[in-house]
Amino acid sequence: MFESLSDRLSSIFEGLRGRGALEEKDVTEALREVRVALLEADVALPVAKDFISKVKERAVGAEVLRSVTPGQQVVKIVHDALVDMLGGDADPSLSFATTPPAAIMMVGLQGSGKTTSTAKIALRLQKRDKKRVLMASLDTRRPAAQEQLAILGEQAEVKTLPIIAGQTPRDIAKRAMEAGKLGGFDVVMLDTAGRLSIDEQLMAEVADIHKTTNPVETLLVVDALTGQDAVTTAEKFKERLNITGVVMTRIDGDARGGAALSMRAVTGAPIKFVGVGEKIDALDTFEPERMAGRILG
């Protein structure tokens, strides 16, 4: 992710870095190019504008331009602004502040990578955080959705709730929480049904499950390859649900990174995890500082 933006920025900053003195117009010109590079990376326009004005405000301060290494200072300011744009020092860890089991609800559109991400996160919690995890699929609509999660559970060696045909999503959610409690699980992961697009029925269903299970985390799964549509989806979900974090999938195929760059600024929701491949362990935490470092090379 971010390869094209990273290439563009390094060539823009190459010109600034080595220079002994900078004038305001040099910075303005470089930032104009940065703005174009951000828009080409599919960053939302208001986010790109805001970014540039922040950097400019900090960079044209007399101290920066008169400093010994003005070019490097500008790059440092851009780095800090990128970290801010990506979510600052947001903590990617999940919250478990409740009497166990803690429910983690996964929501999102069909095909976003929700079921895969459910299993990836469950595996991570089990392996790294030593949590006892139970997964349950509440997707009674898509044929074989529940079986898909059961198969992933076998692969990851994470327990899944036994399937009982004919139950409603709400029944399954209740049964999962009960089984989680009786079985001494720390975490119950609820994989909800997706839709091809956001509709009232989907929203009503997820809102109902949310009310029934009172999750400590509600994670929205979006596909990075859908670019700004991922951001719009997040805005719509946020109107209805308290989304506590975003899981952005398929960043392994996303050279531009616009959705990741705009998500926090547009929706306020932090990206907590990124999917980096199809394999069950292809999941990373999203750390703004590290991502900004990656962009600036």
Give binding residues as ranges.
108-115, 191-195, 249-252
| 192 neighbors 105 (Cβ within 8 angstroms) | yes
- Asked if 272 touches ligand GDP (CB under 6 A), the answer is no
Task: With CA atoms as reference, report the closest residue to 208 among 186, 224, 190.
Answer: 190
- Asked if 112 touches ligand GDP (CB under 6 A), the answer is yes
SS3 217: strand
Among 115, 126, 233, 244, binds ligand GDP (CB under 6 A): 115
Task: With CA atoms as reference, report the closest residue to 131 among 162, 108, 98.
Answer: 98
- Residue 251's identity, in one-letter code, is I
Number of residues interacting with ligand GDP: please give it, by CB under 6 A: 18
Cis bond before residue 288 (omega within 30° of 0): no
Spell out, one character per residue from 194 to 233, where the chain touches ligand GDP: x when CB under 6 A holds, - when not.
x---------------------------------------
- Asked if 153 touches ligand GDP (CB under 6 A), the answer is no
- Asked if 116 touches ligand GDP (CB under 6 A), the answer is yes
- Which residues 165-194 are close enough to bind ligand GDP by CB under 6 A? 194
Among 35, 159, 210, 250, binds ligand GDP (CB under 6 A): 250
Among 40, 80, 252, 284, binds ligand GDP (CB under 6 A): 252
- Asked if 277 touches ligand GDP (CB under 6 A), the answer is yes
Among 15, 253, 268, 297, binds ligand GDP (CB under 6 A): 253
| 127 neighbors 103 (Cβ within 8 angstroms) | no
Concatenated DSSP letters for 77-144? HHHHHHHHHTTTT---SPP--SSSSEEEEEEE-TTSSHHHHHHHHHHHHHHTS---EEEEE---SSTT
Among 244, 249, 262, 267, binds ligand GDP (CB under 6 A): 249
| 173 neighbors 131 (Cβ within 8 angstroms) | no
Smaller CB distance to ligand GDP: residue 35 or 114?
114
- Asked if 278 touches ligand GDP (CB under 6 A), the answer is yes
- Asked if 110 touches ligand GDP (CB under 6 A), the answer is yes
Q: How far is CA 89 from CA 5, 152, 180, 274, 287, in A?
A: 22, 32, 32, 16, 8
SS3 154: helix
- Asked if 264 touches ligand GDP (CB under 6 A), the answer is no
Binding site for ligand GDP (CB under 6 A): 108, 110-116, 194, 249-250, 252-253, 275-278, 282
